[in-house]
Each structure stands twice: as structure tokens, then as C-alpha cells.
Amino acid sequence: MRNSFFGDSLDKRTIKQRIRKLSKAKVGFYSIGLYPASLAYNSAMQKTEKSLLLAPRPGRELMGAFSADEIRGMDPKHVVKMNRMAHHKEGEETVSNTLEYLIDKCDLVLLGANSKYIEQDLLYARSLREKLNRPNVVLACLAGSFNHDEEQNNSYVLCEKNPNLAFFSGFHRHGALRAPVDSFTANFCHPNALTALIGAQMLNKLSPNIQVSPGIHNVEAQYIKAAKNMGSILAGFGYEYHGENPGVLPTLLTLLLNQCLDQAATVSMFRRDRHKLYQQQPIALTELGYAVPRIEATLNKGGFTEKVRDHTFSQLTAIVADARGSMMLPVTGKPTRNFQAGQVLARGMLEHGRCPIVVEEFEEWCEHAGINKGALEGLKALRYWPQIKEKYSIPVYDTSMVNLLYKGLYGSEKEKDFAFAVMTQSRELSNYCQESVRHTHSRKYAEALNSIDRLDALELVSNAVIAENAIKAICDEVANEEREIKPEDPAYLQVMDCIEQGA
């Protein structure tokens, strides 16, 4: 998919005219959920609304994402301005904006739909660009979940399927964007550095309270968004269930964030445009605020080095802040909806003494707590988790926290029992956090040291003392078989075994 502010012209005069036009261009938001509506309210409040146009999804209300109490707490003048952003004149009649109107009048259009609608919206937007002969309108999305092809039964990150689709994200706490002095950061990501730079500048103009930085890692940014939405559920659970045992929380939250970033780093290695991403940019990546053009991590294996992952995207401060903030309980106001769902999960498991029998039961718990299941992108992402980790070959030790949540919601009855024991017992959870991040072979050595009286354990450790025999000791599956899990073993080992057997 072509997705650029500029055509293929080499005429400098034409390009200069286009640049001048972009400096005064409008931004459009289509499908107005909580995030776009709050951003628009902030823009109205800061008197910068002339740069922004809105178009609700057909059949939806402009303010439909807000509760009646939230609307009553808003300044009516700002709401009037928002309504002006969403309407235009046709003759003497005032009509609602449509996606077609946005593509005709704007140079950057953000599709605000969640994973349920985003692909059909993208196809429709592309057809409208062609119909209106507006090929240089850049399209971006906000969706924070994975997508799924029903016919091929395949799950994927949308920006990986459409590499030139821009991605916009920033941390939004309920009500934060409606406070006159609060501010937040965001990233506008696109694989072309110049497109990212211009798009970020356009979005920066929406409000002095919003600081948008450019980034080239759209695939990774969207993956982080989806992963943090899943992690937010477990974070909310941890805060609610283990509020009286706060010692486990720092470990839990650290792992959730680190694994989110490490998973995205693995996904980064699957990009089809990796060479182009670094070697064929119109401007240096340092111009986007990246400290260096490229950061590579290496793993030493017996004297050999191997490229494992690319951490350049960690420069995307706002994306990381989004992940971190979504996993924290705020001092004031409400946490994110996925976090709230985790709190509901904790209360339900405490009341029933078990995990939800089926995921639909958990959705009912959320509905009764006033949380619309359609807004829970983390739960949608979790549904496709097995296919995602297989598609991108994400290691088990980088996925242990999401795996635990998945077993608690989608596992067999036996797996749910193990997951319940681990999630609800502080000692089991801390043991799981410590042990599940180890490589399988590293656990083998730890277990051997704890049972050194066994001849096979002593043999394994003595082999490791001699460097040239260490690799053989690890790789020889016949000589050093995995420790067999027994029924009397702790729950954290049982659930780890279930996860690793299915990995």
C-alpha cells in the first residue's frame, strides 16, 4: 500500500508547494471512540480545534464514548466546538462529516476503529482515496489488538500486513485529556522517516498539551500496544488481588513491561522491510531523535555471535510510557479499561474460588461491572495469542506472563486449576515470575544444584565446569533429559510445564 504525503514528482517547485500546503493541513479522525473524542475535547479547550475534523461512524453519536456523568462534567462551549468539528455545510444544510469528506479535506486521516472494524475501514479509505484522486492522503490507525483472517485462520499484526500504514499512539488515562493543565506524549510511526516527521508535526498542532514525536517502528509500536493491553489485565489483577501482599507487585509489573518490549523486539526481526527501514531513508534517523541509527543485541554462543533482536524502537518513549502507565494504578481518576477488567477478574476469582469457567463468564463479570466487553482490546488480543506467538516464534521465556493469563482464561480445567493457584498465592506467583523467565536449560542447572546427591545432577554440573563440555551437556538430549514434572510438584512448575508442552 502506498501511503505518503508526496507523489513521485522530482519537480522542486511542485514539492515546495506541497510542503507549504502540509504546514497548514488538517487532520481527520474517523470513528470517534474515547481516545479521539478526548483528544478533540482537549483541542477545543486549547482553542486549536481548527486543525481537526471529526467523522463519527455511521449510526454512532459523536459523544457516545462518554457516560452521561462525564458529559455533564464537560464545558458546554467545548462540546459545541466538537460538534462543529464533526459537521459541515452543504448549501444551507448542516450535515455530519463522513470518511469521504475527511479524505477530501484532510491530508492525514486517522482511523480510530478497534480491531473489529479496522481492516474494512482501511479498505474503504483506500478506495475513497482512489475515487477522489487523493493518493497523497496518509492513513493511520490506532488499533491496539491483533487481527485475524477467518478463512485462513491466521492472526497477525495489521501494520506487518500493511507495512506502510501509519500508527499513532499515546498514553490516555480516563479524563486526563479533559483536564486543562494535564499533558501527554505520543508517537506517530511510519516506516518512512520523512512521513513520520511531517505527520508528527501535524498532530503536534492539535494542542499545546500534546507532544507528538516521530518514529519509524510502526509494526513494533502496534505490537507493543496489543501486548500492553493484555498485560494491563494481569496488572489490574495483581493490584486488586495482591493489594495486601505488595512485595510481588514490582516483580510482576517489571516482567510485564520487559516482556512486552522483548516480544516486540522479536517481532521486529520478522519485518519484510528491515533493510529499507535503516538503509534507504530520506533523512537520518538521528533527525527523529534516535540516539543512534541502529542498536543490535548479540548473544554469545561458544565464541560465536548471533543477531537476536533490534532494540532501536525503544527510543519510542511515548509508546513505552503508554505501556508503563497502562499497568499502574493512578493516584487520581480511573485506570485503563483493560486494567479495570483485571480488577474485575480478581474480584470474580476471589468470590468464586476459581478461574472463569469460560471466557464468556469473564465478559459477563465485566459487563456487570459497567465495562463494555467491546472496549477490551486486551481480551481480543489474548484470544489470538497462541497463533501470534507461533507466527513470530516468540520464546516461551519472553511470554510467561501472558501465557499465565491465557491459561487462566482459555486453558483446560486442569490448566485453570494450576493457573488459579499461581495467580492467587503470592509465593507461587513470585516463584513463577522468577523461574518462568529462565531458559529451559538454565533451570536444569538450578535443579541439579538443589539435588547434587543425584549422580546425573553431579555429572551435569561437573560437565559445565569444563567450558568445552558445557555445550554438549546442554544439547545432548539423550544424556541430559528434562526433569519430569510430578503430581506433587508446586503449581508454578505445573503451569510452566503446561505452557512449555504447548509451546
Q: State yes or no: pLDDT of 342 exceeds 70.
A: yes
**Which residues are CB-contacts of 321 (< 8 A; sequence separation ≥ 6)?**
171, 185
Q: State yes or no: pLDDT of 61 exceeds 70.
A: yes
Cell of 228: 500492553
Q: Are 189 and 316 a contacting pair, CB within 8 Å?
A: yes
| CA distances, 191 to each of 37, 83, 229, 444 (Å) | 27, 34, 23, 42
Q: State yes or no: pLDDT of 7 exceeds 70.
A: yes
> What pLDDT, on a 0 to 100 scale, did the predictor assign at position 304?
57
> What pLDDT, on a 0 to 100 scale, did the predictor assign at position 48?
86
Cell of 263: 516480544
Q: How far apart are CA 388 and CA 484, in angstroms?
A: 28
**Which residues are CB-contacts of 383 (< 8 A; sequence separation ≥ 6)?**
359, 410
> What pLDDT, on a 0 to 100 scale, did the predictor assign at position 474?
52
Residue 281 is which amino acid?
A: Q
The per-residue pLDDT for range 122-171, each reduced to its tens digit, is: 999 999 999 999 999 999 999 989 999 999 999 999 999 999 999 999 76
Average pLDDT over residues 291-304: 60
DSSP string, 59-111: T--TTTTS-HHHHHTS-HHHHHHHHHHTEEEETTEEEE--HHHHHHH-SEEEE
> What pLDDT, on a 0 to 100 scale, did the predictor assign at position 214?
92
- Measured in degrees and rounded to the nearest 5, phi and psi for residue 96 equal -75, 145
DSSP string, 398-465: GSHHHHHHHHHHHS-HHHHHHHHHHHH-HHHHHHHHHHTTS-HHHHHHHHHHHTTTSHHHHHHHHHHH
CATH topology of domain 12-223: Rossmann fold (3.40.50)
Q: Are 382 and 410 a contacting pair, CB within 8 Å?
A: yes
> What pLDDT, on a 0 to 100 scale, did the predictor assign at position 299?
57
74 vs 453 pLDDT, higher one: 74
| CA distances, 169 to each of 9, 88, 140, 227, 448 (Å) | 31, 28, 10, 13, 46
> What pLDDT, on a 0 to 100 scale, did the predictor assign at position 465?
65
72 vs 460 pLDDT, higher one: 72
> What pLDDT, on a 0 to 100 scale, did the predictor assign at position 470?
46
What is the percent of the chain where pLDDT is above 70?
85
Question: Where does the pLDDT of residue 497 fall: very low under 50, low under 70, confident under 90, or very high at 90 and above?
Answer: confident
Q: State yes or no: pLDDT of 430 exceeds 90.
A: yes
DSSP state of 117: T
> What pLDDT, on a 0 to 100 scale, did the predictor assign at position 374?
82
- The H or E element that residue 121 is part of is helix 118-131
Average pLDDT taken over every residue of the chain: 87
Q: State yes or no: pLDDT of 209 exceeds 90.
A: no
Q: How far apart are CA 258 and CA 249, in angstroms?
A: 14
Q: State yes or no: pLDDT of 102 exceeds 80.
A: yes
> What pLDDT, on a 0 to 100 scale, did the predictor assign at position 145?
92
347: exposed, middle or buried (C-beta count within 10 Å: 0-12, 13-18, 19+)? middle
Question: Where does the pLDDT of residue 480 fall: very low under 50, low under 70, confident under 90, or very high at 90 and above?
Answer: very low
Q: State yes or no: pLDDT of 240 exceeds 60.
A: yes
Q: How far apart are CA 306 and CA 303, in angstroms?
A: 10
